[in-house]
């Protein structure tokens, strides 16, 4: 082979080798693209076969107004009333003897004790009358003593037969007459002494003077009212109660009342007695309440409003009426425990209709939280959160 022929052969062989290389490169690129496309098509298939994600449990939000915090409380049902205050004891004090009022020792509003002298009535005429009666009494006593001595002598003579029976009878009659006169005079003296004592008009009990109707120097007639006295240590409240509500009121029940003019002050009273018939022209019955007033805060005639407690329960466990679900014999509540609703059977002690509560004897304890309303879709086992999510 000539050198030229060799050169031509070499030059014709080199381009063939580049084409394979190029083909190889193209094949590699195509292969890479195929793998890329394969990955692109395979990715959704891998996602389809992945494990499904577990759904979070649904949580229901409860407003604070839809739950109730259970705590012991005092329960009571009461009947409202209005009424007025008056003293248990009061008296119009009258003069028992006629005369001139020499001295008047008290004014309206003064506090007095039993036996204190309120008014002094002039006793000059009575003292004169007393002296006259005592003089007659002394004279009669002297005559009686003499008549008894005479009777003793006559009786002695009569026993010996020295005097007739008529003389003895006359002596006995004289003694009897004088004894009767003496007894009458003694009664008259006692009466005058009593009248003299009555010239001092005294307080019949501890109390406060409410009215003074006499002045010094005024002529007072027998039986004329000179003072009015009230005892404010114990008061009576005349409470007006609707007739239909009196069936549940009984003596001994307690009552609380407020007095107009003493804002914020609450007084305790007790039912003492109940009028048997309604007041004429009304449908109300007067219920009399006893009220202690030793501190003298209250006055007769004050207007009051209050409540008579007809039934009560201390430290009771109670829930709203709508919180108790179920039928008779199968009552229950829905309680919130650790964020989950639980069904708790309960025993009903009493329904307090006026309070909108049901007292529970068993099944609910203080400190628990119960659902206060029948909420649609809320069931036992459901997760809840109270307040904002």
Q: Give the pLDDT score at 12.
A: 36
CA distances from 279 to 49, 238, 241, 242, 282 (A): 91, 12, 10, 10, 6
Q: Give the pLDDT score at 15.
A: 36
101 falls within a domain: no
285 falls within a domain: yes
Q: Give the pLDDT score at 107.
A: 94
350 falls within a domain: yes
Instruction: List the pLDDT tens digit at each of the 389 positions of the chain.
Output: 333 333 333 333 333 333 333 333 333 333 444 433 344 434 444 444 445 545 556 788 888 888 999 999 999 888 999 999 999 999 999 999 999 999 999 999 999 999 999 999 999 999 999 999 999 999 999 999 999 999 898 888 888 888 888 888 899 999 999 999 999 999 999 999 999 999 999 999 999 999 999 999 999 999 999 999 999 999 999 999 999 888 889 999 999 999 887 877 899 999 999 999 988 888 899 999 999 988 888 888 899 999 999 888 899 999 999 999 988 878 999 999 998 999 999 999 999 988 899 999 999 999 999 999 888 888 888 898 888 65
Domain containing 274 equals 81-85+230-313
Q: Give the pLDDT score at 20.
A: 31
Q: Give the pLDDT score at 52.
A: 52
Q: Give the pLDDT score at 7.
A: 34
Strand order of the β-sheet with 200-202 is: 200-202, 117-121, 99-104, 219-220
CA dist 93 and 230 (Å) reads 11
Q: Give the pLDDT score at 388.
A: 60
Whether 332 and 295 map to the same domain: the answer is no
301 falls within a domain: yes
Q: At what angle do helices 165-198 and 124-160 cross, to 10 degrees?
A: 160
Angle among Cα 228, 234, 237 to the nearest 5 degrees reads 95
Look at residues 288, 313, 338 and tell me which one is the last residue of a structural domain. 313
Which among 372, 332, 318 has a CA at the least distance from the CA of 384?
A: 372
Q: Give the pLDDT score at 58.
A: 76
Look at residues 295, 313, 331 and tell me which one is the last residue of a structural domain. 313
Cβ atoms of 331 and 348 within 8 Å: the answer is yes
Q: Give the pLDDT score at 25.
A: 34
97 falls within a domain: no
117 falls within a domain: no
CA dist 93 and 101 (Å) reads 14
Domain count, the chain: 4
Ramachandran sector of residue 135 (left: φ over 0; alpha: ψ -120 to 50; beta: rest): alpha
Whether 380 and 329 map to the same domain: the answer is yes
What CATH number should be reported for the domain holding residue 370? Answer: 2.40.420.20
Say if strands 59-62 and 383-386 run parallel, antiparallel, or are unpaired: parallel
Whether 283 and 336 map to the same domain: the answer is no
CA distances from 215 to 100, 103, 107, 119, 201 (A): 10, 8, 10, 9, 13
CA dist 302 and 83 (Å) reads 9
Q: Give the pLDDT score at 29.
A: 35
What CATH number should be reported for the domain holding residue 192? Answer: 1.10.287
284 falls within a domain: yes
- The SS3 assignment for 69 reads strand
213 falls within a domain: no
On whether the pTM is more than 0.75, the answer is no
């Amino acid at each position: 082979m000539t050198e030229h022929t060799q050169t031509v052969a070499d030059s014709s062989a080199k381009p063939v080798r580049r084409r394979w290389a190029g083909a190889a490169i193209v094949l590699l690129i195509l292969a890479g693209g195929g793998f890329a496309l394969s990955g692109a098509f395979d990715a959704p298939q891998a996602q389809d076969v992945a494990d499904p994600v577990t759904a979070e449990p649904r949580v229901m939000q409860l407003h604070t107004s839809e739950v109730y915090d259970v705590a012991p409380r005092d329960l009571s049902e009461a009947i409202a009333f209005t009424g007025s205050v008056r003293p248990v004891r009061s008296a119009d004090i009258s003069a028992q003897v006629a005369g001139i009022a020499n001295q008047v020792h008290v004014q309206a509003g003064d506090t007095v004790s039993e036996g204190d002298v309120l008014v002094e009535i002039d006793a000059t005429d009575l003292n004169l009358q007393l002296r006259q009666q005592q003089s007659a009494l002394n004279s009669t006593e002297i005559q009686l003593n003499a008549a008894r001595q005479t009777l003793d002598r006559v009786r002695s003579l009569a026993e010996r037969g020295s005097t007739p029976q008529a003389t003895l009878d006359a002596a006995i009659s004289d003694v009897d007459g004088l004894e009767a006169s003496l007894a009458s005079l003694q009664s008259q003296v006692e009466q005058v002494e009593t009248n003299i004592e009555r010239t001092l008009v005294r307080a019949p009990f501890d109390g406060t003077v409410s009215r003074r109707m006499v002045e010094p120097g005024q002529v007072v007639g027998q039986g004329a009212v000179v003072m009015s006295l009230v005892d404010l240590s114990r008061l009576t409240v005349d409470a007006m109660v609707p007739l239909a509500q009196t069936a549940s009121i009984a003596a001994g029940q307690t009552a609380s009342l407020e007095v107009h003019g003493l804002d914020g002050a609450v007084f305790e009273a007790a039912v003492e007695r109940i009028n048997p018939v309604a007041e004429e022209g009304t449908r109300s019955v007067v219920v009399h309440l006893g009220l202690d007033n030793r501190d003298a805060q209250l006055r007769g005639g004050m207007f009051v409003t209050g409540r008579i407690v007809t039934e009560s329960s201390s430290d009771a466990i109670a829930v709203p009426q709508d919180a108790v679900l179920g039928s008779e014999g199968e009552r229950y509540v829905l309680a919130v425990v650790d964020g989950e609703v639980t069904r708790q059977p309960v025993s009903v002690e009493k329904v307090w209709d006026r309070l909108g509560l049901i007292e529970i004897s068993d099944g609910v304890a203080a400190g628990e939280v119960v659902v206060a309303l029948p909420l649609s879709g809320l069931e036992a086992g459901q997760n809840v959160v109270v307040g904002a999510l």
